[in-house]
């Protein structure tokens, strides 16, 4: 007869075999770093795992006969044991998933903290850059003042009018160096000026003589004309701008535009150009310039003037930004003066439109009218010709 201990061992072996046949194979789960409710759930699952199938505690009364009965009746709980095993397996998978999610959340929190730290560092760097920029702006203002004082001393006068100056005395001119700094800061980079003036080359080609660009500045238009093989030279009153233009290989005379134009032989020029110049003159000076330009132009010669479009309010800021501007010149006023000076075929072309995002969306005539009044083209060009008859 088989010993009771051997019968109990055989019964346990058969139960484990039956459960393994009906339940999925165990999988390797990552260790869960659980806490709180998850830790309690793990303990409960471990206790449940020990009771998947009925068992007889060691030392129980009549344990031998009870184990024989369990062995004989194992077909009654085999399916239940398999269900219990699968349920435990699912719960363990859920807990493992929760642990994985907790780990991902912890990692995200760590990355978010790093991002916030990096963002704070960047904000600190931007603030430092702003402080540096403000410091450089203050230094630039100081250097501008020093330059003005040095130029005044080099011309044999003090940097500011004496306290005893009579009321109404004419102010001293803005030093050329200071105005050059102004143009560098507000007029635009040379490549931007080149882009705005490039289309003028088409109307300045094939004329009966060379082009004279008065107030040529740094020589952007002269450079464009040189690229197209159009003969041209310039006149510039600012010695710094004139020297920069000559340094680029351009023919530029330093001096007053009106005086230079008056020295030109009659009928010797193909075109007279003045871009962003007439707003620096009085009306009397503009008319004198127009009469001299007509005299100096050959028959069929062209006059090209560009200035700020005062018909739109948004351009007035640009006009008053430049401290050397004398008076605005409305398009119809300049047309009248040009025709009175003897030019024919005079026309106005509006230029430098504002970007679409800076204008009103036009859904009808009212918006179009407001755009012309408030956000119209910033400049206009006057184009006229010397008639061939005289």
Task: Write a three-state SS string for the chain.
Answer: CCCHHHHHHHHHHHHHHHHHHHCCCCCCCCCCCCCCHHHHHHHHHHHHHCCCCCCCCCCCCCHHHHHHHHHHCHHHHHHHHHHHHHHHHHHHHHHHHHHHHHHHHHHHHHHHHHHHHHHHHHHHHHHHHHHHHHHHHHHHHHHHHHHHHHHHHHCCCCCCCCCCCCCCCCCCCCCHHHHHHHHHHHCCCHHHHHHHHCCHHHHCCCCCCEEEEECCCCCHHHHHHHHCCCCEEEEECCHHHHHHHHHCCCCEEECCHHHHHHCCCCCCEEEEEEECCHHHCCHHHHHHHHHHHHHHEEEEEEEEEEEECCCCHHHHHHHHHCCCCCCCCCHHHHHHHHHHCCCEEEEEEEECCCCHHHCCCCCCHHHHHHHHHHCCCCEEEEEEECCCCC
pTM score, whole prediction = 0.55
Note the pLDDT of residue 228: 94
Res 160: pLDDT: 42
Are 272 and 363 found together in one domain? yes
Predicted local distance difference test score (pLDDT) of residue 76? 55
Residues 67 and 199 in one domain: no
Would you say residue 177 lies in a domain? no
Structure confidence at residue 15 (pLDDT): 54
Q: What is the pLDDT of residue 296?
A: 96
Tell me if 363 is assigned to some domain: yes
For position 362, what pLDDT does the model report? 76
Q: Domains in the chain: how many in total?
A: 2
CATH of the domain at 369: 3.40.50.150
Domain containing 197: what range? Answer: 188-385
| pLDDT of 226 | 95
Residue segments in the chain with a per-residue pLDDT below the cut of 70: 1-86, 88-89, 130-173, 176-177, 179-188, 389-390
The domain boundary, picked from 117, 134, 157, lies at 117
Are 207 and 106 within one domain?
no
Examine residue 159 and state whether it is found in any structural domain, yes or no: no
Whether residues 111 and 211 fall in one domain: no
């Amino acid at each position: 007869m088989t010993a009771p201990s051997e019968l109990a061992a055989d019964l346990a072996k058969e139960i484990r075999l039956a459960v393994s046949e009906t339940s999925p194979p165990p999988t390797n789960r990552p260790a869960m770093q659980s806490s709180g409710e998850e830790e309690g759930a793990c303990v409960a699952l471990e206790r449940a795992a020990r009771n998947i199938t009925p068992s007889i505690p060691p030392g129980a009364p009549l344990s031998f006969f009870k184990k024989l009965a369990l062995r004989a009746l194992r077909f009654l709980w085999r399916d239940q044991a398999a269900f219990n095993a699968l349920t435990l397996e699912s719960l363990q998978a859920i807990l493992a998933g929760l642990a994985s999610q907790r780990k991902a959340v912890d990692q995200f929190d760590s990355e978010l903290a790093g991002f916030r730290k990096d963002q704070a560092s960047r904000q600190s760097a931007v603030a430092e850059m702003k402080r540096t920029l403000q410091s450089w702006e203050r230094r630039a203002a100081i250097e501008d003042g020093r330059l003005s004082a040095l130029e005044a001393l080099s011309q044999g006068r003090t940097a500011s009018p004496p306290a005893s100056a009579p009321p109404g005395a004419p102010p001293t001119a803005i030093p050329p160096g200071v105005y050059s700094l102004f143009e560098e800061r507000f007029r635009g980079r040379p490549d931007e000026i080149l882009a705005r003036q490039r289309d003028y080359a088409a109307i300045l080609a094939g004329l009966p003589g060379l082009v004279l660009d008065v107030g040529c500045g740094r020589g952007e238009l002269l450079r464009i004309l040189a690229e197209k093989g159009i003969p041209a030279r310039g006149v510039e009153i600012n010695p710094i701008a004139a020297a920069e233009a000559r340094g680029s290989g351009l023919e530029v005379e330093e001096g007053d535009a009106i005086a230079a134009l008056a020295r030109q032989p009659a009928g010797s020029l193909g075109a007279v150009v003045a871009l962003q110049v007439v707003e620096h003159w009085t009306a009397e000076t503009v008319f004198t310039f127009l009469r001299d330009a007509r005299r100096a132009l050959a028959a069929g010669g062209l006059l090209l003037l560009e200035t700020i479009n005062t018909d739109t309010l948004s351009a007035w800021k640009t006009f008053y930004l430049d401290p050397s501007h004398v008076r605005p010149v409305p398009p119809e006023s300049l047309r009248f003066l040009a025709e009175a000076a003897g030019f024919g075929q005079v026309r106005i072309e509006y230029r430098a439109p504002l970007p679409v995002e800076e204008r009103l969306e036009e859904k009808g005539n009212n918006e179009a009218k407001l755009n012309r009044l408030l956000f119209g083209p910033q400049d206009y060009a006057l184009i006229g010709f010397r008639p061939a008859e005289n």
